[in-house]
Structure 1
Amino acid sequence: MPKHLQARMAQDGREERQVRKLAGSRHAPADWKFHAHMVVESWAGKTPQEIVTTLSCHPQKERPFYPHA
């Protein structure tokens, strides 16, 4: 059975606000926004496969986000 991998939760409210703000930013670098969006999706309880589907990307792109995948 595959492991359920998930991003660590924010250490405090400030960190969570920063990540969510970055995920929704219009002017941040695209790769920063993409990875922030992956974190937010993971916080929502989505599996890596669901995140890949939601973001319409190749599973290998999402894999570095989870170091032990």
Structure 2
Amino acid sequence: MAYELNRSELFLFTKPQNRLLFSGAGFWPIAQAGQLAVLMENSSERLARFCRQLALYRQPGKTIGAI
């Protein structure tokens, strides 16, 4: 269904014991909440690339905010 909708960036939540199952399907862990849940995505580098892009917008200073 995701392919038919042209969705290439996929995320899922699952139980930690299912992590290996989804790893075999091309998903990589992003974060885990103890033994409750693990967040996975279908890219091993997308999150790191996104963080690098955010660094380009970094502004110097101690007090910075946005509304």
Specify if TM > 0.5. no
Structure with greater Cα Rg: 2
Larger RCO, structures 1/2 (Cα 8 Å, 6+ apart): 1
Larger proportion of strand: 2
Q: How does the TM-score come out when normalised to structure 2?
A: 0.31
